[in-house]
Amino acid sequence: MVAQETALALIQLGAVFFGLGLLGRLAARIGMSPIPLYLVGGLIFGTGGVIELRHADDFIHLASEIGVVLLLLLLGLEYSASELVTGMRKSWAAGVLDLVLNATPGVAVALFLGWGFTGAIAMAGVTFISSSGIVAKVLGDLGRLGNRETPTILSILVFEDLVMAAYLPVLTAVLAGVGFAAGLTTLGIALATVTIVLVIALRYGRFVSMIVDSDDREIFLLKLLGSALLVAGVASALQVSAAVGAFLLGIAISDSTAHNATKILEPLRDLFAALFFVLFGLSTDPRTIPPVLGWALLLALVTTLTKVATGWWAAARAGSSKYGRARAGAALVARGEFSIVIAGLAVAAGAVPSEFAALATTYVLLMAILGPIAARVVEPALVWRDRRRTVS
């Protein structure tokens, strides 16, 4: 019996991995992020889908947790502590505007639907943060990394990531149902931890890098993955959030060690993160999507406009042209991995209704598709409009 269950689990996992490979290839062919397709794959094979994967659940759940840790670890590796501090100084005004404009629609919809304070806090994060991965890919694909507005876009993304370092512990405390005083304590611990890590990274980052570094790829990988899981586990035990712990470790690793760590961890990140997106789709019943589709479309429309407004204003402050402002705003539209991480935490805690997962999934599907399209068409659309005005 055990052997048969193991065989079925291996068959299901093999089918999942192979299917993800096909979906990833399709996404590359049509020039879009694979995240929406991974979510759709999860919807097809999850609760209420065509086929339910029952035998591989335990592995997929654990692998998805590792996926979140690796996502945040590599996100932290992209920044040095000095870059974070500099980015915070440059982008705080645009970041605050971004937070207000893009978190508010999520809060409003959650409260209107009767999801209470917990649902509102979780939905605020889902609608607030842009997808760093999708934005970076779009900028690279369109050859805009050297554009004048690109530093503005990146500084806003840095600010969003720092906000997440404070937000995730608060969300974790709210989802756990702790009291106001305990929530403030958790936030205080998180902020103190972030501050300490930034100071350590600024002054002693080379020592942290020396601890995990190795010339042997196998040893380097084992030390990296082991330290990431250890830090994430300790952070989770302190209710600071495993994701934040991994993000802070990534910040503390610097220079060539960070570059080498990114190269060696990227394939693992892509593998486990794909399972995370699939798991979120698996936990969402497709039958719950039609009732929230209208709300997802409304949120998509409103938060597209608010992101464009944020990028336009920030790029204007930096002296970008009209086209540069439009490009900056459109580049920020996409939502993706972080929004699903937040929604996944809320759903796993059982603190939100089933409709929350459906709305978050539908919203991210729409925004992950709409974001790259908006980034591609915004400038040609403006040029066409200006030519028509000139001719008329």
Please write the tens of the pLDDT for every residue from 83-136.
666 766 777 888 899 999 999 999 999 999 999 888 999 999 999 999 877 787
- Please provide the average confidence, as pLDDT, over all residues in the chain: 82
Q: Are 115 and 353 contacting, i.e. CB atoms less than 8 angstroms apart?
A: yes
What percent of the chain clears pLDDT 90, i.e. is strictly above it? 20
Residues in Cβ contact with 349 at an 8 Å cutoff, skipping those fewer than 6 apart? 175, 176
Q: Is the pLDDT of residue 37 over 60?
A: yes
| Whole-number Å distance between alpha carbons of 311 and 90 | 14
| Whole-number Å distance between alpha carbons of 375 and 78 | 22
- pTM beyond 0.85: the answer is no
Q: Which one is predicted more confidently, 203 or 1?
A: 203
Would you kindly state where each structural domain of the chain is located, as residue ranges? 2-391
Q: Which one is predicted more confidently, 13 or 156?
A: 156
Residue 187 — pLDDT band, cuts 50, 70, 90?
low
Q: What are the contacts of 201-204 at 24+ separation with CB within 8 A?
A: 201/80, 201/81, 201/251, 201/252, 201/254, 202/81, 202/82, 202/85
Tokens (6 digits) for 366: 């729409």
The top-level CATH class assigned to 2-391 is mainly alpha
